[in-house]
Structure 1
Amino acid sequence: MIATAVGTAVYIDQSEKGHSSTTPFTHAFETPHLWVGTADGGVAMVELTRSGSSLSGSLDVTAIPSSDRTTTKAEHAAFTGTVDGSAVTIRIDGALGSVGSLSGTLTSTEMSLHVPNDNGSMYTLTLRPGSVDDYNRKVGALQSQARQALTELQDAQAKEAQAAADAESSGKIDAAATKVNSAYIELKRTLGVPVDYSSFETDLATVRSDLKTVKDNAANLSGEDACTDAGSVETDAGTVETDAGTLESDRGTLDYTISDIESQSTALKDAWDAYETAQGLMPGYTPILSTGVGGVSNLRANARDTVSAIKSKGDGYVRTGKDLAAEARRVSDTAVASAC
């Protein structure tokens, strides 16, 4: 009866100034007024009044619902019934009315009722004389079970939340580590590619050849055409200056390589900084990294040294070109001054 009404079985025991006899009773005064019973997940108390063969009273049930083991639910219902010898029938009204009629036995020391389960099977609910204090103590124990279940649920939820937070943190760390790996590999690959200075060498060779022409022509000035030939030398000197300017254009192409190295080095630093920030979310987690902080520092130092070397070598070609052009102009000026 009670189990069907609240989704759990119920238990009963009580002590009042009852009788020790276990034989059926026939007089109202022989029937204890309060009964208490328990079963898995529930506690019940019956207040029973008998008048001849007629019964009336109320039923209080506190149970842990099967749908939520972290709380208790209390219900109250009135009932009527009949008794014939030791046979008893009870009809429940109100919130517990889904049970309908229950049959069983009633003596001065025990009430047994046949209660249907939700699955259609039957079980026997046994109640014995008791007191309100008995009922309250059992309710308290039931509430302790519910509180324990709530604590366990909250602990489980906290663990799930922590696991989710750890998964999110480790995901961020993994993503940051992936960026470090990618940036490290990219910069290392770029630094491993030799810089092509062939255009510098070619253009510088042209400047040297043009300077030789200037010098040869200046050395051969003679006769009445010397001044005219000196003009040609001056023109050749202009060619040397033009060719030297090509070296400056070549130097400009190096800026693309320098820019790539510097931007990749900066990207590696930013990736590592982001990784260290992410790692702070979960210090004990170690992702897959291609390098450590020392490797990042060394590669960036290598990048700075490489950039410095590229600039120095490129600028050296430009200075050499300018020096050769200046020499060509001095030879030209001397030739004009001497021949004209």
Structure 2
Amino acid sequence: MVQMYPPPPAPSRRKAWLLIGSVSAVMATAVGVAVYIGQSDKGHSSAAPFTHAFETPHLWVGTADDGVAMVELTRTGSSLSGSFDVTAIPSSDRTTTKAEHAAFTGTVDGSAVTIRIDGALGSVGSLSGTLTNTEMILHVPHDTGTMYTLTLRPGSVDDYNSKVGDLQSRARHALTDLQDAQAKEAQAAADAETRGKIDAAATKVNSAYTALKQTLGVSVDYSSFETDLATVRSDLKTVKDNAANLSGEDACIDAGSVEMDAGTVEMDAGTLESDRGTLDYTISDIESQSTALKDAWDAYETAQGLMPEYTPVLSTGVGGVSKLRTNAKDTVSAIKSKGDGYVKTGKDLAAEARRVSDAAVGSAC
């Protein structure tokens, strides 16, 4: 059966138009055109309708929104023969055209006409309608079961070719529109991906900034230093008191005790050095977090450079990052200085204890 796209119902304009069904192959438009140019060269003029006893035109052309049809008709009495050429924009692909060619036979009785399509494309079907010298009307069944009317009028191969050219131009415009839409969609997807990268980089900056700020906001605990330093001072006092009370025949023995007390002072001073080691954990945290903030900011600037006009949610700007990292550097310097100060004080007290001890031994023994 011949299947054709019906004309679109008003006011909506459906695009599907005309397609010969059960197609085993699709012929390019140029092939269909070449067939008729060849036939014209063989004697069927495309410039004027074919005339005979019944004055029935030889070439007929009809159009719809999405297709162009040409019928080459030969009438002998009540018998008809000829061929159909159809070029249409498929509803499944608006960016191209497809051409079909099929032979037919038929009969005419008065103005009533019946056309039977058979052969070339393996399709079989009948169309009925009316035929006059100025108009051919065919009732075409649609695959939905409805019927629509195809109207053809006397024309020429040039008419058909021109209308096919218009149809192909529409398909090319549709292809351009599709490509433009796809390009815009691809760009939108790329922009969304870029914004996602910028947002992710900004999130890392915010996280790194918050972490460093919180770490700097925690006071360093120096209580163990104060406790251990107090012990060193207490032991030094013992050394001094015992050294001051050396007398009599046991003075040398007591000086030995003073020397042992000085060793205790030195041992307690060593505890301050252990306390200093614990500060390195705090210092390392601050320095690593400061580095992480710098790395996060550098990565953010790289990502944001891909789309300078896009600004994500940031906890701070480059000035805030620089200021916080400077604060971190100053804090580390202060922690090191204070910790080292406790250690130095402990060493100084231990050295004083050793001097007192040495003096006591030297004077008593």
- What TM-score do the two structures reach when normalised by structure 1? 0.92
Counterparts in 2 of 1:28 and 1:287: CA distance versus 1, 3 Å: farther
1:163-213 Cα distance to aligned partner (Å, 9 max, x none): 111121111111111111111111100000000001100111111111111
Distance 1:264 1:129, change over 3 A: same
Q: Select 2:155's aligned residue among 130, 137, 140.
A: 130
Please give the residue correspondences for 1:158-177 in structure 2 after superposition, counting only pairs within 5 Å: 158-177=183-202
Amino acid of the structure 2 residue aligned with 1:328: A
The Cα RMSD (Å) is 2.1
Quote the residue 1:91 is aligned against. 116
Structure 1: distance between partners of 2:148 and 2:123: 16
2:177 & 2:298 partners in 1: Cα distance? 40
- After the TM superposition, which of the residue ranges 122-131 and 316-325 deviates more from structure 2? 122-131
Please list every run of 5 or more consecutive structure 1 residues that lacks an aligned counterpart in the other structure: 20-24
Aligned match for 2:267, one of 232, 242, 256: 242
1:317 Cα offset (Å) = 0.2
| Residues 46, 158 of structure 2: 8 Å contact kept | no
User: Counterpart of 1:112 in structure 2: which amino acid?
Assistant: I
Instruction: Tell me, in whole angstroms, the C-alpha distance in 1 between the residues paired with 2:350 and 2:172.
Output: 94
> Structure 2: which amino acid aligns with 1:8?
W
Deviation of the 1:96 alpha carbon = 6.3
| Contact preservation (8 Å) 1:16, 1:129 | no
Aligned positions of 1:75-86 closer than 5 A: 75-86=100-111
Is the 2:46–2:157 Cα contact (8 Å) retained in structure 1?
Answer: no
Residue 3 of structure 1: SS of its match in structure 2? coil
Partners of 2:17 and 2:88 within 8 A in 1: yes
Is 1:17 paired with 2:48? yes
The answer (yes or no) to whether the contact 2:118–2:124 under 8 Å persists in 1 is no
Match of 2:316 among 267, 278, 291: 291
Deviation readout 1:267-298 (Å, 9 max, x if unpaired): 11111112122212322221111111111111
Contact 2:85 2:101 in 1 (8 A): yes
Which SS does the other structure have where 2:4 is aligned? helix
Aligned to 1:3: 4
What per-residue deviation string (whole Å, max 9, x for no partner) do you get for residues 29-57 of structure 1? 61111111101200011111111111000
**Partner Cα separation in structure 1 for residue 122 and residue 316 of structure 2:** 73
How far does residue 74 in structure 1 lie from its aligned partner after superposition?
0.4
Q: Which runs of 5+ in 2 are unaligned?
A: 7-14, 20-44
Count of aligned pairs? 331
Residue matched to 1:194: 219
